[in-house]
Structure 1
Amino acid sequence: MISEMSSIQDSLQSKLDQLECHFTWNIEKEHLVLTDILNRLEEQVKMGLGKDQGVARTHCSLGYVKFLLGSKEEALTHLLKSETLIKENLGVNCDKTLIVPYGNLAWINYHMKNYTESESYLMKLQKINETFSAEPSTVPEVLGEKGWAYLKFSHRYYDKAAEFFQKALLLDPENSEWNVGYAIALYRTEDPTYFTVDSPAIKQLKQAIDIDPDDDASRVLLGVKYLFCSKELMNESEKLIETALKGSPENPHVMRYVGKFFRNQGYVDRSVALLKKALETSPNSGFMHHQLAMCYKIKKINLQKEKQVNKSEVNNARNQCIYHLEKATSLKPSFIIAMSELAFQYGEKRDLPKAEKLFDRTFKIAREKNDGVHKVHFFYAEFQHYCNRCEDLAISHYRQCLEMSPHTSEGNRSAKKLKNIAARYIKENPGHWKANEILGFIYQMKGEMFGDTKSYAATLGNEEDDESLSNLCEINCKI
C-alpha cells in the first residue's frame, strides 16, 4: 500500500514539475520577505486595486505566499477565489488565463495529499492545452502572469519580470496590463543616474498611458522620471503629478510617489501630509514609513541650517525619523537601506552601542542574502566618519563599498568621500603617502584621474556636497 502511494506521488510530481505556475518558477523563499509581500497583497485585495483580472492575480499570488507561510488551507481558499473571479470576469474566454491558477491548485492539492483533486486539475490543464497548439510557456497570458509574479515578489527578479513582460507584449502588444507591468519593471531596473528623456522606461510609461489614459500609477511614475531627467521637463512633470493625484486621490500607490515627488521638490510638509494620509489605508507599508522617515530627515537637516538652531525641534524631527524607520524595519525585517539609515540615526543620537549592534545585524542579513552589502559598507563608513570619529575605519569601509560596486550611487559617493579625505591630507602635506594610495585605489576602481590634486585640495570645502547621509552630520552628532 505504501509502495503504491509512493508511486502515485512520484507520477504526480513528474507531471507537476512540467506546469507553468508559482511553484515551478524558481521563486526562492530565502529571497523573499514574506510578511511584507503578504501585507502588500492583502492591501491590494482590500482596496480592490487593479482591474478585475488584477484582483484575481493577487489572490493567486496570495495563495502561493500562504503556502510558503505554512497555511495550506488559506492558500487553497485564495487560489479557488482566483479561479472563481477569472471565470466570472472572462466567461468562456478564460481558458488561457486559468493555466497559472490551475497549476497552483494542482500543486497545493498535492501538498495537502489531495491526490485525486490534484490529478483533476492536471486533467483540466491537459484539456486546455489541447485547444491550442502553443506550449503553455509561450502563451502571452502565462508570460504576463510570470512577469507580475517576479515583479511583486522581490527586487531580485525585476530583470526577469521585464524579460517576460517584453515576451508577452511581442505576442499581444496592445494589452494594457502587460504594458504597465513592463513600464514598472523598467522604471525599477533603470539606473536613475544615467537615463535620458528617451530612456526605455520613459518610452514604456508613455506607451502604457497611451493605451490606458486612466492609468494614474504610470502617470505619476512618468512625472517622477521627468523630475530627475531634465529641468526643462519640470512643468510637464508637475502637470503629470497633479493629474495623477486628482484622478486617484485615494490610491496609496499614487500618493506615495506623489509624496516622494514633493519631498524631492522641497515641499516636505506637503509630502508628510500625503504620506500620512496614505498610511491610513496602508498602515503596514514599510515603504510609506521609510518615505516619511526621509521627510523627517530632511526637516531635521533644514532646521540645522537655520542661524538659530532649535535643538528641541531638531531632536523632535530626528525622533520622528527614527520612529518611522523602526516601523519600516519591523514591518520589513530585511529592509537593508532602512536598517542602515536607522543605525546611522542612532549614531547621531549618540547611542553608539545600539548603532553598532544594528549595523552588525544589518551586515549579517545583507551577507546571508548576498544583497546590498556595499550599501551597508557605505552607511557604516559614514557612521565611523562622522559619529564615531574613526577615520581609518571610515576609509576602510568606503574602500570596500567602492571595490564591491564602483558604479552604483553608493560607490560614486564613496569615491567622492575618499577623494575629499585624500585632498585634505594633501592640503596638509603634499607628499602624504596615504593620500596617494587612496587616489591610486580610486583610479584602479573607477579609472578616474583627478588632475592636479594640490589645486583640488586648495578648493576643498567650496564644492557642494552630494546627497550622502553626512549632510550636516558633524552638527547632527553634537546636538
Structure 2
Amino acid sequence: MSSHQCTVLRTKLTQLECHFTWDLRKEDTDLTDLLNRLQDQTELDLGGQEGAARTHSFLGFVKFLLDSNNEALSNFQRSVEVVKELHGNKCGQLLLVSYGNLAWLHYHMDNYVESESYLNKLEEIKEKYPPDSSSVLDANLLGEKGWTFLKFYRKYYDRAEECFRKALELEPEQGEWNSGLAIVLYRTETESVSSTESPTIKQLRRAIETNPDDNVVKVLLALRLCFHKEYSEAESLVETALERTSDHPHVIRYVAKYFQQKGSVDRSTALLRRALEKVPNSAFIHHQLALCYKKTKIYLQRASSHHSKDAAIKQARKQCIYHLERATELKPSFTLAMNELALQYGENQDLSKAEEMFKLARQTVEKRNENLQMFHKFYAVFQQYSMKCEPLAIEHYTKCLKLNSKTYEGKESAKHLTKIAERRIRKNSQDGDAFGILGLVHKEQGDRQRAQEYYEKALGYVHNDEYLSNLCELQLAVE
C-alpha cells in the first residue's frame, strides 16, 4: 500500500466510533486492575449474554494497550460471534463498535486489506438503515461509550454521564442506559441533599423501573437510603437482591458494604469472603474486607482493656493489613487502600514501612492529580497518633481543609483541628496559635464573624502575619 493510500485509510479509521477513537489514554487508568475486572466479567458471565460482547470488545482493546495483539484480535472476534449468536441477521447496528475495533487493530498489525474489508462491512451496515433510524444507531453507540468511560477510570465519569444522558434523550426507556447513568451519579454525587431531592436516588429508582432485573442498582439504592437512615426500604431492597442473585459477586460485595455501614460487620465479612472465592483478584473486595477487619479491631479495642483481647486485636489488624496489601498489589493506583495501609503500618509501629507507603501514595496522587485531599487527611492522622507530631498533623489537616471544607475529608480535618485547638486552650487560655486554628476552621467553613473573633483573640496573644492577613481579608469582605 502506498503512503497516500495508507493516509486515506487512516483518515477513514479516525472517523469511526470505537475504542480506538474515544481518546482512552492508558496512562489515565490502572491497566492491571481493569484487566482483572474485565476478565472476571467474562469468566463469571457477570454482564449476562448482552454484556458479554461489550466486555470482550473492551477486553480486546485493553489487550491491545498491553501490546498483546493476537489476544486482542481473539477478543474482538469473540465479541462479533456473541452478537451474531444472540441476534442473528438483525445484529448489524450492534456490530459497529466491534467492526471498528477490528478495522483499527488490523491497521496497527499492517493488515491493510483486512482493515479495509471491515470498513466496507461498516458501510454496508449503515446503508441498510434508513436516515430516520440513525437515532437507534446513535443511542447504541452512546450507550457503549458510556459503559466504556464508566469502567475505564474515574476521570472519565463526566464523559460517561454525558453519553448516557444523550442516549436516554434518544431512547428514554432503555434500561441499560438508565442503569449506567444511575451508577455514574452514585459514584459522583457528593452533596448531602435529602433523599427526596437527591438526583442519584431519583435516577436509581428510574433505573429499577426500566430495568427491574438489575439487582446491582437495587443494592446501590439501598446503600444511598441507608445513608439517609431510611432503613425499612433499604432492607427490603437488599433482601430482594440477595434472593434473586445470591451468587453474583457484584451484588454480594455491595450488600456486604450495606451491612458494614449498618454495623453488621460479621455478616459483611462472611459475604465478602464468599464473593472473594468467585473473584479472588478483586481489589474492591479485598479493600472492603480490610475495612471489616479494621472495624472489628476498633470494636475489640473499645470493648475491653483485658489482655485476653490483645491476641484478637493483633489478628484483626494482621488480616486488615493482609487484605490492604492484596488490594494495592492488584490495583497499584488504589490510593485509598495505600493510605489506609500506611495508617495500619503506623498503628503496628512499623513506621518506616508506613512512611514509605505514604510516599508512594503521594507520588501516585500527584501523578494522577487526584485524591490529594484524602492523602493529607490520612497523613495528618498518622502524624498525630503514630508519630505523636502535632505540628505536622496540624499542617496536613490544614492543607486538607483548605482544599475543600465541604467534603468528608474536609469536615473530618475541621473536627480534628477543632479538638486540638480546644484541648490546647483548656491547658492554656492564652494560646494564640490555638485561637488561630479556630479562626482558620471557621474561615474555611464560611463563618466569617466567628473567624474574625478568633483571629482577634489570636492576635491578642501572638504576632502572626498570616492571622493578620486573614483578619484583614475577612474585614474587607464584610465591608
| Shared fold (TM-score, shorter chain, > 0.5) | yes
Cα deviation, 1:103-161, whole Å, max 9, x if unaligned, reads 11111111111111111111222223333437799700000000000111111111221
Counterpart of 2:86 in structure 1 is: 89
TM-aligned CA deviation for residue 186 of structure 1: 1.2
Alignment of 1:451-462 (within 5 A): 451=450
TM-aligned CA deviation for residue 449 of structure 1: 5.5
Tell which has more relative contact order, 1 or 2 (C-alpha 8 A, sep 6+): 1
Following the alignment from structure 1 to structure 2, what is the Cα–Cα distance between the partners of residues 49 and 442? Answer: 46
Aligned residue type for 1:406: S
TM-aligned CA deviation for residue 410 of structure 1: 0.7
Say if 1:39 and 1:285, in contact at 8 Å, map to a contact too: yes
Following the alignment from structure 1 to structure 2, what is the Cα–Cα distance between the partners of residues 5 and 371? Answer: 45
Unaligned regions of 5+ residues in structure 1, if any?
455-479
Say if 1:303 and 1:314, in contact at 8 Å, map to a contact too: yes
Match status 1:288 vs 2:293: no
Aligned residue type for 1:115: Y
Following the alignment from structure 1 to structure 2, what is the Cα–Cα distance between the partners of residues 122 and 236? Answer: 51
Say if 1:96 and 1:139, in contact at 8 Å, map to a contact too: no
Match status 1:118 vs 2:115: yes
Counterpart of 1:47 in structure 2 is: 44
TM-aligned CA deviation for residue 193 of structure 1: 3.4
Aligned residue type for 1:295: C
Aligned residue type for 2:314: N
Alignment of 1:134-149 (within 5 A): 139-149=138-148
* Cα RMSD after superposing both structures: 1.9
Say if 1:299 and 1:317, in contact at 8 Å, map to a contact too: yes
Cα deviation, 1:145-196, whole Å, max 9, x if unaligned, reads 0000011111111122111111111111111111111111111111163452
Say if 1:262 and 1:270, in contact at 8 Å, map to a contact too: yes
Query: 3-state SS of the aligned residue for 1:284?
Result: coil
Counterpart of 1:351 in structure 2 is: 350
So what's the TM-score if we normalise by structure 2? Answer: 0.90
Alignment of 1:11-50 (within 5 A): 11-50=8-47
Query: 3-state SS of the aligned residue for 1:386?
Result: helix
Say if 1:136 and 1:142, in contact at 8 Å, map to a contact too: no
Alignment of 1:197-212 (within 5 A): 197-212=196-211
Counterpart of 2:460 in structure 1 is: none
Query: 3-state SS of the aligned residue for 1:83?
Result: helix
Counterpart of 1:441 in structure 2 is: 440
Counterpart of 1:336 in structure 2 is: 335
Q: Find 1:266's aligned residue among 263, 268, 286.
A: 263
Aligned residues: percent identity? 50
Say if 1:106 and 1:121, in contact at 8 Å, map to a contact too: yes
So what's the TM-score if we normalise by structure 1? Answer: 0.90
Say if 1:87 and 1:94, in contact at 8 Å, map to a contact too: yes
Following the alignment from structure 1 to structure 2, what is the Cα–Cα distance between the partners of residues 266 and 90? Answer: 46
Alignment of 1:241-260 (within 5 A): 241-260=238-257
Cα deviation, 1:50-108, whole Å, max 9, x if unaligned, reads 23221100001001110111101100110111111112212232222211111111111
Q: How many residues align?
A: 449
Say if 2:442 and 2:450, in contact at 8 Å, map to a contact too: no
Following the alignment from structure 1 to structure 2, what is the Cα–Cα distance between the partners of residues 63 and 448? Answer: 53
Say if 2:135 and 2:170, in contact at 8 Å, map to a contact too: no
Say if 1:384 and 1:390, in contact at 8 Å, map to a contact too: yes
TM-aligned CA deviation for residue 29 of structure 1: 0.8
Return 192-201 or 443-452, whichever deviates more.
Answer: 443-452
Match status 1:214 vs 2:207: no
Say if 2:176 and 2:211, in contact at 8 Å, map to a contact too: no
Aligned residue type for 2:146: G
Match status 1:326 vs 2:325: yes
Counterpart of 2:473 in structure 1 is: none
Counterpart of 1:314 in structure 2 is: 313
Unaligned regions of 5+ residues in structure 2, if any?
455-479
Counterpart of 1:157 in structure 2 is: 156
Counterpart of 2:468 in structure 1 is: none
Q: Which has the higher helix share?
A: 2
Following the alignment from structure 1 to structure 2, what is the Cα–Cα distance between the partners of residues 147 and 91? Answer: 25
Following the alignment from structure 1 to structure 2, what is the Cα–Cα distance between the partners of residues 8 and 120? Answer: 14
TM-aligned CA deviation for residue 208 of structure 1: 1.8
